[in-house]
Amino acid sequence: MLPIIWACLLIAGAAAANLPIVDLGYKRHRASSFKGTVNGSLLPVYQYSLCRTPAGLPAVRPARPPTQTQSRDRQWHRTGYICPQSQACWFNVQNSFVNAGTAGSVFNFTAAYNQVYGVDGCTNPPLAAERDPLESEDCLLLGVYVPEKVMSKRHSAPVWVYFQDGAYVSGSKSGQDPSGLIHTSREDGSPGMIYVGVDYRRLALELVQRHISQFGGDPSRVTVMSVSTGWGSTTMQLTAYGRAISPPFAQTIVQSPAWEPDTKIPATEESVGYFPGIVECQQRGRGPASAISGLD
């Protein structure tokens, strides 16, 4: 079986002094840890900043690649950090449907919907005290798992990129254990985040094309694997820019693509009007669209 490189947006543990270093041109990166072995070969984990983190809210800004102005020698020690999470309320409606079927009773969709979205207040943002302490806006780090023998021989190994699911509002790279392979975290779940999330993922794929050969990977043999909303995002990569720009990968593994189109204009307008207040960017005399654009 050919060795496979897996790249992912993640944060891993601390590293020892003898961990290998890769020079990516704009900076040198020491592996953050060894994650076991693969066929007797040590598996170092590398991670580097996916993009420059702007002041304020990076999630609403277009992706910008790292620059050489950053510290040349860098090693990330932050462990397990994930992008801010939300929840898909329809999961709760789905659970009510399953429970009704299991109990042999008639499922009342209207009652379940009103309970989840109204009484339970599922759409309300969680309180700070209820959030995962590992949630951070500074979560856009690309990690690479690669067997040491692949790097030492500069073997042109195939590359696997994985986009996780999560209804476009949840999920993290830390939930995957590739032990040999690349997956990404994302920013989405509020007005404009789907676009920006796709933008970040495109940047991640472009960085894989640019730098994966330094890890022994073959940029012409990149496979993107995803499921559900992860594949929905991958489809956006296939259709982005029309035919002007080819997607930065060779092939994909398709698993149950999912999208969440919302054509209800009143509901969309309500979400757009609600968002500035959540991020405390509402300013007197400015409408929601103007307030949100001011974050960019």
pLDDT digits (tens, 9 = 90+) for 73-97: 444 444 556 777 777 777 788 888 9
Half-sphere exposure (Cβ direction) of 193: Cα atoms closer than 13 Å: 22
The mean pLDDT value of the chain amounts to: 66
> Is the pTM for the entire model greater than 0.75?
no
Q: What percent of the chain has pLDDT over 90?
A: 1
Q: Which residue has the tokens 């990977």?
A: 217
Contact 42, 16 (CB under 8 A): no
Longest dimension (CA), the chain: 64
Q: Which tokens hold the place of 159?
A: 């590359």
Distance between CA 192 and CA 173 in Å, rounded? 21
Distance of alpha carbon 276 from alpha carbon 287, whole angstroms: 9
Q: What is the pLDDT of residues 178-230, one digit of tens each?
A: 554 544 444 444 333 344 567 778 888 888 888 888 888 888 988 888 777 77
Q: What is the pLDDT of residues 151-177, one digit of tens each?
A: 666 668 888 887 777 677 766 666 665
CATH superfamily of 5-82+133-253: Alpha/Beta hydrolase fold, catalytic domain (3.40.50.1820)
Enclosing H/E stretch for 49: strand 41-49
* Domain extents in the chain: 5-82+133-253, 87-124, 263-296
